[in-house]
Structure 1
Amino acid sequence: MLVSREGPHAERRFVEFFTARIRNRGTRANYARAARDFLAWCEAGGLSLRTIGPVHVAAYVERLGQTHSAPTVKLRLAALRMLLDDLVVGQVIPTNPAASVQGPRHVVKKGSTPVLRADEARQLLDAIDATTLVGLRDRAVIGVMVYSFARVSAAVGMNVEDYFPQGRRMWLRLHEKGGKRHDVPAHHNAEAYLDAYLEATGIRDERKGPLFRTVSPRRDLSLTRLHRTDVLRMIKRRARQAGLTTAVCCHTFRATGITAYLENGGLLEHAQRIAAHESVRTTKLYDRTSDAVSLDEIERIVI
C-alpha cells in the first residue's frame, strides 16, 4: 500500500486520521472507502504518495464521474482533501494535491427521499399486527421516526432511559450526528406506541439497556440492539404487507413527518429545530408540500 511505503510515521498518521479525527461511524466508513479506492487507483498507475499531483486527482475525479453520481464524487473528493490535508499537517507529504481540484457542480433544491402521504403512513402503521411483540416494536420504531423526525441511527441508538417524563409529557432523547443530544416532546401517538411496547416487553426498568432490540428465533426479546439495516428490512417488509407501492427507506419517515407537519401549518423554522438540522435549507429538502401544487398546474395543460 502507498502509505506503508512511506514508513511507520505515515502509517500512524493515516490510522489516526480515521480513528481520532472522524468520530461518526458512517462518515468513517465512507471516507475509508474513498481513500482505499483512490490509493488503489494511484498504486495501479505506478504513483507513490509523494508523486501524486493535482492532475492525478483531477483525472481520478473525472473517471469517477463516469460511473458515480455527482453527490458521490463530491463526497469522495471532500474525503480525499481532508485526508491529504491531514497528511500535510503531519509532514508526510509536502502539499495537498486535492486542494485545487474542482468537483462537479451539483445544486440540490429538492431531496430525493421517497415520501409517504399522511394516509399512506397511517395505512402502514395500522397494518402492523399490534398483538405480537415484534409488531409492537416495529410500530414504535416507525412512530418515533415519523413523529419526532428522528434519523434511524438516533432511533435505534436510544436506551430505555431516553424515553422519559418531563412535566406532564413524555420526552424522547435522541443522540444525533456529531455527538449532539436532542430532546423532543413525544407525540401522543408515539407515546402510545412506546408505552404499549414497553408494557409488553417488561423492559421499562432496564434503563441502561437498548430500547429497540432484536428478537430471538423463539420470538423472545434479546439483549442486542436493533441495527439500522434491520430497520430497513423491516420497513420494506411492512410496506409490502400494507400494500404500499411507494419505495420506502429509513429516511422516508423523517421526510414524511416533516411534510405532514408543514402541510398542517407548521413553520419551517420549527421543523428545523425538531429535526435538529443545522440549516433550514436542509429541512427544506424534505418538504414536499409543493408537489401537489405542481401536479395541479401540470393538469392545466389541456390538449
Structure 2
Amino acid sequence: MQAAGEHLLSQVTQSLYGFCSGIDIVELRMKLSEIISEYDIKRIESEVAHPDLKEKIELSLAGKQLEGLSKITLDGYRIHLRIFADGVKKKVDDVTTADIRVYLARYKDQKIATISTKLSVLKSFFGWLTAEEILPRDPTTKIKPPKKEKRLPKALSIEELEMLREACQNVRQRTLIEILYATGCRLSEVYAINRKDIDYNTQSCRVIGKGNKEREVYFSFKALFHLKKYLFSRGDQESALFITERQPYRRLSKRGIQREIGIIAAAAGLQKKVSPHTLRHTFATLTLNNGADLVAVQELLGHENPATTQIYASITAERKREQHRKHLVQ
C-alpha cells in the first residue's frame, strides 16, 4: 500500500479507537486496509493549494473567456484566485463564508480598493460556479463590499492641459496628448489603434474596450491636425498608429506611451502625477462641466455601468455657482 494510504489508515483507526472503546483495532485496521487498497490515495500537502480548487479556477476562467473577457482581465483574475487558493487550501465545496472573511481580513491594512477588487473577483468566481450548478450555494453572497473611498479622479484643469501641449518637444508627443484627451480612450485602446482604423471623413475610429466591446470614438480638429502631421512625417510601413522613434520601427509599447506622457508632464513643470488615464479623466470632467449629457459621455468612455461615469459628474464649485445663477428662479 502507498505511504499516503498507510498514513490515512493509521489516522482513521487511531481516531475511531479514541471515540469508540471496546472495538477490535486489529480487525478494524485489516477491514479498512482492504477497502483503501482499491483506491489511489494522494496526500494533499498543506503548503499548496488544493487541486480541486485549482481545477475549478481554470474551469471558471475558461468560461469567462468564452463570455468575452479580455486576456488582461483574465490574467488579473487568475493571479487573485491563485493567491486565494494558496491561502485557503480547501476543496471548492468546503470553502465557507468564514474562510473568505478570514482571507480578506489579512488585507485589512491595504487600501479599500484592493480589498474590493479581491472580493469582486471571488464573487465573480463563486457566482459563476453557482450559476453553472457546480456549487449548490455561493459563499460570498452574505459578504458586502467595503464602502468605497470617495475620491474624485484627478483631472487636469484647462490651464494644465495647455501647459502639457506647450511642453511637447515633437509632433509625436503632441499627437499623443491630443488623441488621449480628445477620444477619452484607455491606454490599452490607444496602444492598439492602427493607421487603417482612422476614418478621416467622420473624424473617428473604432476601438476595442473592456470585455472585447467595440465602440466609436471621435477626434477633435486639433487632434486630427496633429495626427496628419505626425503620420506625414513618417516614412515607415508600420501599421501601428504610434511607433518607436528608432529603427527597427515597431508599435510603441504601453510602457513607452506612459513614459512619454511622464516626460511631457515633467517638462511642463506639473507637480501632480500625469498618466494616460489622467487625460481620460480630463476628457470626462471637462466635457461634463461644459454641459455634455451624462449618457453620451458614458458611451464615449465605454462604461457599462452609469455609476462609473457618475463619479465625474461631481462638478467644480465654479460650475455649481454658474448653474445656480442660471437656473435659480429669482
The answer to whether the 8 A contact 1:140-1:194 is kept is yes
Q: Which amino acid in the other structure matches residue 164 of structure 2?
A: L
Task: Give matches, 1:68-217, under 5 Å.
Answer: 68-88=110-130, 93-106=135-148, 108=150, 111-130=151-170, 136-166=171-201, 169-202=202-235, 209-215=239-245
User: 1:289 Cα deviation (Å)?
Assistant: 3.6
In structure 2, the residue matched to 1:53 is: 96
Residue 230 in structure 1 maps to residue 236 in structure 2: no
Unaligned segments of structure 2, at least 5 residues: 1-47, 322-330
Q: 1:177 to 1:39 in 2, by over 3 A?
A: same
Distance 2:57 2:272 in 1: 47
Q: Is the 8 A contact 1:70 1:104 kept in 2?
A: yes
C-alpha distance 241-15 of structure 1, shift in aligned 2 (>3 A): same
Structure 1: runs of 5 or more not aligned: 131-135, 296-303
Amino acid of the structure 2 residue aligned with 1:211: L
The verdict on how the C-alpha distance between 1:22 and 1:57 changes in structure 2, with shifts beyond 3 A counting, is farther
Q: How does 1:265-280 map to 2 (within 5 A)?
A: 265-280=291-306
Higher relative contact order (CA 8 A, sep 6+): 1
Deviation at 1:291, TM superposition (A): 4.7
1:281/1:83 CA distance change after superposition, 3 Å: closer
Tell me the percent identity. 23
CA RMSD for the aligned pairs? 3.0
Question: Is the 1:159–1:211 contact (alpha carbons within 8 Å) kept by the matching residues of 2?
Answer: yes
CA deviation digits over 1:7-46, x for unaligned, max 9? 9964762552464446223322321222122111113xxx
Instruction: Give matches, 1:16-31, under 5 Å.
Output: 16-17=62-63, 19-21=65-67, 23-31=69-77
CA deviation after TM superposition for structure 1 residue 240, in Å: 0.6
Following superposition, the deviation at residue 105 of structure 1 comes to: 2.6
Does 2:78 align with 1:32? yes
The two structures have a TM-score, normalised by structure 1, of 0.78
Change (3 A) 1:272 1:99: closer
Q: How many residues align?
A: 275
Cα deviation, residue 212, structure 1: 1.5
Q: 1:191 to 1:57 in 2, by over 3 A?
A: same
Between the aligned partners of 1:11 and 1:69, the Cα distance in structure 2 is 25
TM-score (norm 2): 0.72
Alignment of 1:241-280 (within 5 A): 241-280=267-306
* 2:68–2:211 Cα contact (<8 Å) kept: no
CA displacement, residues 227-278 of structure 1 (integer Å, 9 cap, x when unaligned): 3222222212210111111221221101112222234343434333332333
Greater helix share, structure number: 2
In the TM superposition, what whole-angstrom CA distance separates every residue of 1:100-154 from its partner, at most 9, and x where no partner exists?
322323374xx54321111211111121112xxxxx2232222111012111111
Structure having the higher strand fraction is 1
